[in-house]
Amino acid sequence: MAALEESQGRTRDQRSVFERYQDAAAEAGEPDAPVFAVEVTADGRPTDIEREEGEEAAFEEITSPFDPEHIDIDTRTTTVDLLLSRLRNEMIDLAPDFQRKAGIWTDGKQSRLIESLLLRIPIPSFYAAENKDGSWAIVDGIQRLTSIARFLEPQAVGADPLKLTGLEYLRNFEGASFTDLSGKLQIRLRETEVVVHVIRRGTPEPVMFNVFARINTGGEPLTRQEIRHALIPGRARTLLAELAVTPEFRQATGYSVVGDRMADREMALRFLAFRMTSPHAYRPGDFDAFLAEAMHQVNRLDSADEDRLRFEFLTAMTAAKEIFGPHAFRKYRRNQQRKSPINKALFEAIAVNLAGLSHYEREELRRADVLDAFADLMEDVDFERAISVGTGDARKVRKRFDAVKELFENALGAEGGGAEQ
Whole-structure pTM value: 0.76
Mean pLDDT, residues 296-324 taken together:
98
Mean pLDDT, residues 187-206 taken together:
92
- In the chain, the amino acid numbered 285 is G
Between 52 and 27, the higher pLDDT residue: 52
First and final C-alpha spacing in the chain: 46
Sort 349 into a burial class: Cβ within 10 Å, 0-12 / 13-18 / 19+.
Answer: buried
Q: How confident is the model at residue 418 (pLDDT cuts 50, 70, 90)?
A: very low
Q: Give me the count of residues in the chain.
A: 421
Q: Please give the share of the chain, as a percent, with pLDDT higher than 70.
A: 81
Q: How far is CA 120 from CA 193, 194, 365, in A?
A: 9, 11, 65
Between 343 and 12, the higher pLDDT residue: 343
The tens digit of pLDDT for each residue in 314-353 reads 999 999 999 999 999 999 998 888 899 999 999 999 999 9
Q: How confident is the model at residue 227 (pLDDT cuts 50, 70, 90)?
A: confident
Between 163 and 258, the higher pLDDT residue: 163
**What mean pLDDT value characterizes the chain?**
85
Q: What angle do CA 161, 162, 167 make, to 5 degrees?
A: 165
Q: Please give the share of the chain, as a percent, with pLDDT higher than 90.
A: 61
**Taking the domains of the chain in order of start, what are their residue ranges?**
21-60+234-420, 72-202
Does the pLDDT of residue 220 top 70, yes or no? Answer: no
Number of other residues whose CB lies within 10 A of the CB of residue 277:
15
At residue 158, the pLDDT reads 87
Q: Who's near 65: CB < 8 A, 6+ residues apart?
A: none
At residue 231, the pLDDT reads 86
